[in-house]
A and B are shown apart, each in its own frame.
Chain A
Amino acid sequence: MRVAFGLMAVGCLLSAGCSNQPNNATKPADAAVVAESAGGSNAAGSTATGSNATTDENSSGGAAAANAAPVRSGVAKLTPENTKIQFVGTHAGGDPNPRTGGFEKFTGEAELDADGKTLKSVSAEIETDSLWTQHGRLTQHLNSPDFFDTREYPSATFESTRIEPTGGDGQYTVTGDLTLLEATKEIQFPATVTIDDAGLALRATFTIDRTEFGMDKLQDRVENPVALTVVIGEKTEPLPSADGPRGGGFDPAAFFKQRDASGDGKLAGDEIPERMRQDMEAIDTDGDGEISQEEFQVRMRQFGGGRPGGGGPGAGGSPGAAGRAGAAGAAQDRPGDGGAADAAGTRDGD
């Protein structure tokens, strides 16, 4: 009996909490891809752990300015209307199965120098229990004491202590104190900043080591580095739930039908997801300016996606570069486009 009980307990605990069910995201093979997916940029993100931050000049990508934060009296108020804060965590072992999440509620300020052309300081306070992911149970687990422990620590803060320009094209290195759970640690990360008449835009992609903040549970199940993306200039919009009746997953046929408002069996004009439009040359093989079902399916197969009710794009595909790109896109969904736009393998920034 005791053995049976033990096996039962272990079996359950092993499968507990952070289930490894397939996601809409594909399965990138390394952390770099995860960082990429978090940032939606073309490069591998930076590490911002304590004072040992490494920077990569390409890592921040271009600062988005679609929804720039208006600057008044030298201060830009950061709200979910003009800023998004996202993270990507991966499972440990051979199957990273990345999970994208973010925060829906936060406040912050970005202050500019007197000349109004240089970023002076950034601060933010996040309501941690506004955490979202694409999986309800994962969200619940991340809120628990195993991770963010949002009941005990309902807020996390960042306060910059030093911001230094590192290039003439809006590149900065931001240093500041991040308070998460019980710990306050200095982190440093690169950021790309655009300041113009529309306001302030910033994009930063970097990774932190969760264990440095006391988030040290389940290290044998979840990787310690967590990729973070902060974008000023994009609205916070949680990705759609991936919890489907059969465990979630992306159904390309259903997505195509949903987008095909005219019902003519082709996606044209606004029916084409924004990020697919950016890659039309590759997708629209017959050059008619529309995407047929066949072209759409080919695109899906390129990224190994589209198993209805099953894994997400890439889940059944090869772990090659294309699959990884699909992963990046899927993990970095822009809600306005719908999750499937990413599933189609297009990427923010591509």
Chain B
Amino acid sequence: MLRQIEGSRAVAETVALCRPEVVCAYPISPQTHIIEAIGAMVASGALAPCEFINVESEFAAMSVSIGASAAGARAYTATASQGLLFMIEAVYNAAGLGLPIVMTLANRAIGAPINIWNDHSDAMAVRDAGWIQLFAETNQEAADLHVLAFRLAEELSLPVMVCMDGFILTHAVERVDLPEQPQVDAYLPPYEPRQVLEPDDPVSIGAMVGPEAFEEVRYLAHLRQLDALERIPAMATEFEEVFGRPSGALVSPYRTEDAEIVVIALGSVLGTIKDAVDARREAGDRVGVLGITAFRPFPSDAVREALSRARSVVVVEKAFSIGFGGVLSTDVAMATHDTGCTLRTIVCGLGGRPITRRSLEEAFAAAAQDELDSLTFLDLDHEIVERERTRMTTTRRSGPSAENILRDIGTVASRMD
């Protein structure tokens, strides 16, 4: 049913349709509206049977999910940024144990400095943990991917996280076509665990594994993720059959058929990128866009296929590996190193810095002229940076850099962006 609805609310209602049995969460901006909405649905009986548990930390949230899932219940939680890091031990544990937990990650920057706005540093911090990571471009996709996530997780016995940009998607009110219960029931069967704590058939789960078998256990997990590369497209096709709209492909290409330059990105920035690309197309540049939906497992083949006619790749990303370069860029580089494409990285949106169509257009125009640097920090104020560097060379006790820079920028309230 078509609704004009806040992204968080769309996700909450869709998750509820997936009949989760144990939901727990610890509040953190910008995820709060999701868990509040689910909590209200449980309290009113709209979502039943379901145990909604207010836990004392994110570490507890993932741990409760682990216990619930191991005991055979469909488990769901949500977090962001600092909360994800607080539970990171349990995040790895869930993947290692092969528990099909679904989690919404409302992407938010990781401090210090503390920052509640959107970027992808949190998702990137756990990209090696063994979770499947799906990125939503729109609130419609965010809602739909959760349905796919439960099905995928339970089929493969792997946890799945659905990433949606904090505030930009979670707090945006947009048109979303919410699924109906019969549709979700047709697509998502009840959870059949591969392993379960059951007195009639006792098993020990979570034993120590030494050097003699650890590599095999890890390799098996890798194979299961590679299986996902096959299963996701198949599930996406089935999704379209049941719900009447596509969702969940590994990648989504836009005007890439004849593109010389392909822009690659994750998440909501793809919308702004498409507008910028359309503008560049008007100007005669042959630019296309490749949105990556499944980030883990990384869809190397699909990416290579989309780049097969391109000569240049521009990765636009909201994450950065301090001391090296882009994070998504590294993955793309590894997947495409022998394609002959040049690779340029644009880092933008860190800590929620707005990414404007105009700035992207300028960057893409430069790329078309082969004038784009290999690494660009979009809209970076170099003067501010230089001022702080000078401060630091002048005196040892130069003070906290973040505070110095804020003072240089002036009253925060006077800036609209």
The judgment on whether A and B are partners is no
Chain B residues within CB distance 8 Å of chain A: none
Chain A residues within CB distance 8 Å of chain B: none
